[in-house]
C-alpha cells in the first residue's frame, strides 16, 4: 500500500509521500482557491475548476432554485457533488477544502444563528462559548465545509472600527479565552479553525486594515497573545494574515510574523491563508513589488501557503519560471495544506452525510443553546427601578424604534450576508405579540412617538446601528443613516452605504421618555454608543447587542424578569467620540487623564453590568506556594431573585523594570446562585499570570510587586492585597 493511503501513518508522513508523487502543476493547484458567488447559475458550471485545492461556498443558498431557502441537505448535496468531481479530477483522489465563514453560525445558509462575538464575550463564560462553537462546528461539518475563517481575535481598542462586533472586545485575556474556546469547538468537529486577522487589523481612528502604528512591545503584550492561545491551546490549524502592514511590511509577506513568531516562537504547524486578495495586494495596494509574481514570491518565502480567494496558480507558476521561488518553496507550502487535509480526516472521508443533516441543523437543542447564549449576553446598564416590568400590569405595551421589527442578528456574517431569516425566528415586535398575547401592542413611526407613548403602560425603544465590515465610524452616536443596497457586483460581501437623513433615534428616545417615564431603551448594536445626549433622562437601558436568532425572546424575558441579567461589558463605553481610543488597561503617564470637558473616565467601564438581584463577597483568603497564587471567597446571593455574578481579578503591577498597565484582568469567575444561596469559590493563578516582557522583550516571571484587586468591574473593587515575585517565586509577603 502506498504510504499516503495508509491511515495508520502520521499525517505529515502521508502528505510527504503524496508530494513526492505529484507534478509541479499538481502541487501548485493545491495552493490555489476559487470563489463563485452564483453557485446556482451558469457561472458555476462554466468556471468551476475541479483541479484546485480549495473552494469557497459563499453561503448564497438562500435563493435556491425556486427562490426558496435551500434545505441543509440540498446544501450538503451540492458540496458533496463538488467534492466528488474534484476527487475524480485528481490522480490521487485529493478532495478540496470547502471553506467559509462561521463567526457566530455556519454561513452556508440558514444554520443556527448565535449572538455576535462581542455579545458572547459579554457572557464572561468560556464554557458557554465552547458549547456554541461546538454546535457551529457540527453544523459546518454536516454540510461538508471543513475550514472556517473564524474566530476574529483582534483586540478592539477603538470602537470606531466597524468590525468591533466581530471581536471579543478590548481585553487580552477575554479575547484569548474566547478565541481558544471557539477554535476547540471547530477543531473537535474536524473543521479547520482560522483565527484572523493576523495581526493588529485596524489603525488610528478605527480605520479598517490601515497600517499598524503599534510598537513590537504593544504587539507582543496586546495583539499577539490571543493568536498564540488559539494556536497553542485552541489547536487552530490555520491562520489568516491581515491586510495591513506592520512595521512597514504587509502582514501577508512578513517573515517576522508568519515564520519567526508563528512557527519559530509558537511552534505552529498548520498553514497560513491570505485575507481576500491579500497576496496580490502586496503589489497592487501596498506597492512594494512591481508585479504580482514578485508579490507571490514574497508571501510564499515569508510563510504564506494559500492565497485566497481567487485562482493563483498562474501567478505562482510565473514566480517559479522567473526564479523568484523554487520547487522546494512550493513543496513546503503544499505539504502543509495536504497534511491538514489528512489530519482532519478529509482525505479519507471527504463526504457529508446528506441523510442526517436536516435533523441536526437548527434542531431544538441548538436553538435552545442559542436562546441561552442570548440570555447570558445581555448587560443591564442602567435601572432606576423600572425593570423588570410587571407583565400583569402591562396591558398596553409601546414598541418603538427602527430595530423593533428586525430579527436582531446583525448584518455582518449572518446567514448569506444580506439577512438571516427563519419562520420560527422572531423580531422583538413579533415576539411580544406571542409573549404578551392579552396585551395591546402599540407601535408607530418615531415622529408620532410622543402621542403614542402617553397611552401605554410601558414603552420600549429598540435602537439600530449602521456598522460592520466596511462601515468604520467617525461618529458613535445612534445612526441616522439609511441603508442603500447597490447592485455593483454580485460579489459584494457587505452592502455599500450612502449617508442619508433617516430616523433621529436620540430625539425619538427623548420624546418617548418625556411622554412616559415607565420606559426602557433596548440597545441593539455591536460596539459602544455615545449615550450622553439622552441617557440622563432615560430610567433604564438594556444592552442586548445583536443577540442572534433567539434574541427577541431573550430580550423580552429579561425585560419582564423571567431572566436576571448577568452580562458584563467586554469593552469600555465612552462618553463621546472625543475620548477615543478608550480602554481600561492603559499605561500610566506623567500627568492626568482628564479633558477640558470631562474627567476622561468612561460612561460605563469594562466589566460593568447590573443585576436584578444583589450579591455579597466575603471571607477572601489567599496564599502563595511559590509557583501559584490561590484565592478563595464566599459569594452570596442576598437579593430577591436567582442570578449570576462575575467576580473579576485584576493586577496593578509596579516595580517591574518596565511600565505596566494600571489594571489588567488576570482571572474571572461567573457563579450562578439561587436566592439566598452561598458558595465558596476558588481561583488559582499560575506563573503565566505574573509573566511580562522585560526591557529586552523577553517574557518571564521577573521580579515585581502586584496589587491584586477583586471586583465586579475594573473600577468597582471590593478587596485588595499584594503579591510579590522574587527570584522566580510568588510570595504574599516580602522576603
CATH 3.40.50.1700 domain locations along the chain: 378-579
On whether the CB atoms of residues 632 and 620 are closer than 8 A, the answer is yes
On whether the CB atoms of residues 373 and 125 are closer than 8 A, the answer is no
- Lowest-confidence segment of 48-52, 343-347, 421-425, 635-639 by average pLDDT: 421-425
Residue 670: name the closest of 254, 129, 19 by CA.
Answer: 129
On whether the CB atoms of residues 116 and 410 are closer than 8 A, the answer is yes
Q: What percent of the chain has pLDDT over 70?
A: 94
Helix (H) / strand (E) element for 721: namely strand 717-726
On whether the CB atoms of residues 528 and 159 are closer than 8 A, the answer is yes
Q: What is the pLDDT of residues 360-387, one digit of tens each?
A: 999 999 999 999 999 999 999 999 999 9
Rounded mean pLDDT of the chain? 93
Q: Has residue 668 got a pLDDT over 80?
A: yes
Residue 186: name the closest of 150, 225, 227, 153 by CA.
Answer: 150
The domain 3-358 having CATH identifier 3.20.20.80: the answer here is: no
pLDDT at position 501 is: 46
User: Alpha-carbon distance 526 to 522, whole Å?
Assistant: 13
The three cell numbers locating residue 671: 457563579
pLDDT at position 182 is: 98
**DSSP E strand boundaries for 477-568:** 519-523, 540-543
Grade residue 488 by pLDDT with cuts at 50, 70 and 90: very low
Residue 546: name the closest of 103, 184, 205, 174 by CA.
Answer: 103
Please tell me whether residue 561 adopts helix, strand or coil conformation.
coil
Exposure on the CB side of residue 669, measured as CA atoms within 13 A: 17
The CATH number, out of the four listed (3.40.605.10, 3.20.20.80, 2.60.40.10, 3.40.50.300), of the domain defined by the range 615-731:
2.60.40.10
Helix (H) / strand (E) element for 343: namely helix 327-343
User: Alpha-carbon distance 15 to 336, whole Å?
Assistant: 8
The three cell numbers locating residue 661: 498597565
pLDDT at position 413 is: 83
∠ Cα 527 531 532 (to 5°): 140
Residue 219 makes CB contacts below 8 A (sequence gap 6+) with 199, 200, 212, 246
Grade residue 490 by pLDDT with cuts at 50, 70 and 90: very low
Q: Has residue 311 got a pLDDT over 70?
A: yes
Please tell me whether residue 316 adopts helix, strand or coil conformation.
helix
On whether the CB atoms of residues 631 and 685 are closer than 8 A, the answer is yes
Q: Has residue 499 got a pLDDT over 70?
A: no
Measured CA distances, 665 to 4, 185, 615, 635, 720 (Å): 47, 24, 21, 20, 14
User: Alpha-carbon distance 149 to 466, whole Å?
Assistant: 23
Give me the mean pLDDT over the 547-564 stretch. 97
**DSSP E strand boundaries for 43-197:** 54-56, 97-100, 147-148, 192-193
Give me the mean pLDDT over the 118-137 stretch. 98
- Lowest-confidence segment of 32-41, 75-84, 168-177, 657-666 by average pLDDT: 32-41
Grade residue 481 by pLDDT with cuts at 50, 70 and 90: low
pLDDT at position 109 is: 74
Give me the mean pLDDT over the 541-565 stretch. 98
Grade residue 390 by pLDDT with cuts at 50, 70 and 90: very high
Question: What HEC string does 663-679 produce?
Answer: CEEEEEEEEEECCCCEE
User: Alpha-carbon distance 449 to 209, whole Å?
Assistant: 40
On whether the CB atoms of residues 194 and 150 are closer than 8 A, the answer is yes
- Lowest-confidence segment of 63-77, 254-268, 545-559, 624-638 by average pLDDT: 63-77
How, if at all, do strands 717-726 and 704-711 pair?
Answer: antiparallel
Q: Has residue 643 got a pLDDT over 80?
A: yes
pLDDT at position 484 is: 43
The three cell numbers locating residue 540: 433604564
Q: Has residue 448 got a pLDDT over 60?
A: yes
pLDDT at position 68 is: 63
Name 55's bridge partners: 34, 98
User: Helix, strand, coil: what percent of the chain each, to 5?
Assistant: 30, 20, 50
Reported for 431-434, long-range contacts at CB under 8 A and 24+ positions apart, including other chains, are 431/552, 431/553, 431/555, 431/556, 432/397, 432/399, 432/556
Residue listed under C-alpha cell 443533516: 357
Grade residue 606 by pLDDT with cuts at 50, 70 and 90: very high
CATH 3.20.20.300 domain locations along the chain: 3-358
Q: What percent of the chain has pLDDT over 90?
A: 86
Give me the mean pLDDT over the 610-616 stretch. 98
How, if at all, do strands 202-203 and 207-208 pair?
Answer: antiparallel
Peptide bond into 151 cis (omega under 30): yes
Q: What is the pLDDT of residues 20-67, one digit of tens each?
A: 999 999 999 999 999 987 777 777 888 899 999 999 876 555 445 555
**Radius of gyration of the chain, Cα coordinates, nearest whole angstrom:** 26
pLDDT at position 493 is: 33
Helix (H) / strand (E) element for 648: namely strand 643-654
pLDDT at position 39 is: 77
Residue 347: name the closest of 359, 333, 337, 358 by CA.
Answer: 337
- Lowest-confidence segment of 93-102, 326-335, 597-606 by average pLDDT: 597-606
The three cell numbers locating residue 145: 465545509
User: Alpha-carbon distance 620 to 601, whole Å?
Assistant: 29
pTM: 0.95
User: Alpha-carbon distance 352 to 106, whole Å?
Assistant: 15
CATH 2.60.40.10 domain locations along the chain: 615-731
Largest CA distance in the chain: 81
Q: Has residue 486 got a pLDDT over 50?
A: no
Give one DSSP letter per residue of 411-422, joined into a string: STTSTTTT----
Give me the mean pLDDT over the 672-701 stretch. 97
pLDDT at position 505 is: 96
The CATH number, out of the four listed (1.20.1050.10, 3.30.1280.10, 1.20.120.160, 3.40.50.1700), of the domain defined by the range 378-579:
3.40.50.1700
Q: What is the pLDDT of residues 227-260, one digit of tens each?
A: 999 999 999 999 999 999 999 999 999 999 999 9
Dihedral sign, Cα of residue 99, residue 103, residue 109, residue 113 = positive
On whether the CB atoms of residues 449 and 512 are closer than 8 A, the answer is yes
pLDDT at position 496 is: 42
pLDDT at position 337 is: 98
pLDDT at position 414 is: 78
Amino acid at each position: 500500500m502506498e504510504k499516503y493511503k495508509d491511515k495508520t501513518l502520521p499525517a505529515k508522513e502521508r502528505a510527504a509521500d503524496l508530494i513526492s508523487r505529484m507534478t509541479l502543476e499538481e502541487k501548485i493547484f493545491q495552493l490555489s482557491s476559487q470563489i463563485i458567488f452564483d453557485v446556482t447559475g451558469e457561472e458555476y458550471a462554466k468556471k468551476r475548476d475541479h483541479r484546485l485545492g480549495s473552494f469557497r461556498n459563499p453561503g448564497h443558498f438562500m435563493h435556491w432554485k425556486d427562490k426558496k431557502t435551500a434545505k441543509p441537505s440540498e446544501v450538503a448535496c451540492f458540496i458533496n457533488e463538488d467534492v466528488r468531481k474534484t476527487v475524480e479530477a485528481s490522480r490521487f483522489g485529493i478532495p478540496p477544502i470547502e471553506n467559509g465563514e462561521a463567526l457566530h453560525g455556519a454561513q452556508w445558509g440558514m444554520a443556527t444563528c448565535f449572538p455576535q462575538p462581542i455579545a458572547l464575550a459579554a457572557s464572561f463564560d468560556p464554557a458557554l462559548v465552547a458549547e456554541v462553537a461546538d454546535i457551529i462546528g457540527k453544523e459546518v461539518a454536516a454540510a461538508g465545509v471543513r475550514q472556517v475563517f473564524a474566530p476574529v481575535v483582534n483586540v478592539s481598542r477603538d470602537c470606531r472600527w466597524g468590525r468591533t462586533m466581530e471581536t471579543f472586545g478590548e481585553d487580552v485575556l477575554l479575547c484569548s479565552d474566547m478565541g481558544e474556546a471557539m477554535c476547540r469547538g471547530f477543531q473537535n468537529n474536524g473543521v479547520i479553525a482560522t483565527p484572523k486577522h493576523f495581526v493588529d487589523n485596524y489603525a488610528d481612528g478605527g480605520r479598517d486594515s490601515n497600517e499598524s502604528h503599534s510598537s513590537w512591545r504593544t504587539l507582543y503584550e496586546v495583539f499577539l497573545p490571543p493568536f498564540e492561545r488559539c494556536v497553542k491551546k485552541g489547536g487552530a490549524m490555520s491562520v489568516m494574515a491581515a491586510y495591513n502592514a506592520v512595521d512597514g511590511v504587509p502582514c501577508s509577506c512578513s517573515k517576522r510574523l508568519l515564520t519567526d513568531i508563528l512557527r519559530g516562537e509558537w511552534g505552529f504547524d498548520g498553514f497560513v491563508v491570505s485575507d481576500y486578495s491579500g497576496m496580490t495586494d502586496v503589489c497592487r495596494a501596498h506597492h512594494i513589488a512591481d508585479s504580482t509574481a514578485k508579490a507571490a514570491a514574497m508571501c510564499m518565502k515569508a510563510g504564506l501557503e494559500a492565497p485566497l480567494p481567487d485562482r493563483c496558480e498562474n501567478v505562482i507558476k510565473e514566480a517559479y519560471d522567473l526564479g523568484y521561488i523554487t520547487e522546494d518553496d512550493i513543496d513546503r507550502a503544499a505539504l502543509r495544506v495536504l497534511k491538514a487535509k489528512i489530519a482532519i480526516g478529509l482525505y479519507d472521508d471527504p463526504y457529508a452525510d446528506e441523510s442526517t443533516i436536516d435533523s441536526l441543523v437548527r434542531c431544538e437543542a441548538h436553538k435552545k443553546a442559542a436562546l441561552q447564549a442570548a440570555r447570558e449576553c445581555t448587560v443591564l446598564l442602567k435601572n432606576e427601578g423600572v425593570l423588570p416590568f410587571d407583565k400583569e400590569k402591562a396591558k398596553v405595551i409601546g414598541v418603538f424604534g427602527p430595530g423593533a421589527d428586525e430579527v436582531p442578528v446583525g448584518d455582518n456574517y449572518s446567514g448569506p450576508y444580506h439577512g438571516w431569516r427563519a419562520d420560527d425566528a422572531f423580531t422583538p415586535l413579533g415576539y411580544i405579540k406571542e409573549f404578551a398575547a392579552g396585551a395591546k401592542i402599540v407601535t408607530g413611526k418615531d415622529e408620532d412617538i410622543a402621542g403614542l407613548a402617553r397611552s401605554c403602560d410601558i414603552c420600549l425603544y429598540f435602537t439600530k446601528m449602521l456598522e460592520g465590515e466596511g462601515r468604520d465610524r467617525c461618529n458613535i452616536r445612534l445612526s441616522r443613516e439609511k441603508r442603500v443596497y447597490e447592485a455593483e457586483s454580485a460579489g459584494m460581501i457587505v452592502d455599500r452605504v450612502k449617508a442619508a437623513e433617516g430616523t433621529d433615534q436620540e430625539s425619538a428616545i427623548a420624546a418617548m421618555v418625556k411622554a412616559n417615564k415607565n420606559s426602557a431603551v433596548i440597545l441593539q448594536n455591536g460596539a459602544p454608543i455615545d449615550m450622553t445626549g439622552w441617557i440622563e433622562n432615560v430610567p433604564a437601558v438594556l444592552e442586548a447587542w445583536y443577540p442572534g436568532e433567539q434574541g427577541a425572546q431573550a430580550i423580552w424575558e429579561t425585560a419582564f424578569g423571567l431572566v436576571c441579567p448577568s452580562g458584563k461589558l467586554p469593552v469600555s463605553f465612552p462618553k463621546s467620540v472625543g475620548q477615543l481610543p478608550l480602554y481600561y488597561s492603559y499605561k500610566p503617564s506623567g500627568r492626568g487623564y482628564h479633558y477640558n470637558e470631562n474627567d476622561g473616565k468612561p460612561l460605563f467601564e469594562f466589566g460593568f453590568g447590573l443585576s436584578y438581584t444583589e450579591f455579597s463577597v466575603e471571607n477572601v483568603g489567599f496564599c502563595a506556594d511559590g509557583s501559584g497564587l490561590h484565592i478563595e471567597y464566599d459569594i452570596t446571593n442576598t437579593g430577591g431573585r436567582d442570578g449570576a455574578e462575575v467576580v473579576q481579578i485584576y493586577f496593578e503591577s509596579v516595580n517591574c523594570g518596565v511600565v505596566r498597565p494600571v489594571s489588567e484582568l488576570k482571572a474571572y469567575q461567573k457563579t450562578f446562585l439561587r436566592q439566598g444561596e452561598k458558595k465558596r469559590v476558588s481561583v488559582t493563578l499560575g506563573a503565566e499570570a505574573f509573566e511580562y516582557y522585560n526591557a529586552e522583550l523577553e517574557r518571564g516571571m521577573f521580579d515585581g510587586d502586584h496589587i491584586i484587586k477583586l471586583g465586579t468591574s475594573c473600577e468597582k473593587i471590593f478587596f485588595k492585597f499584594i503579591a510579590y515575585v522574587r527570584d522566580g517565586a510568588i510570595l504574599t509577603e516580602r522576603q
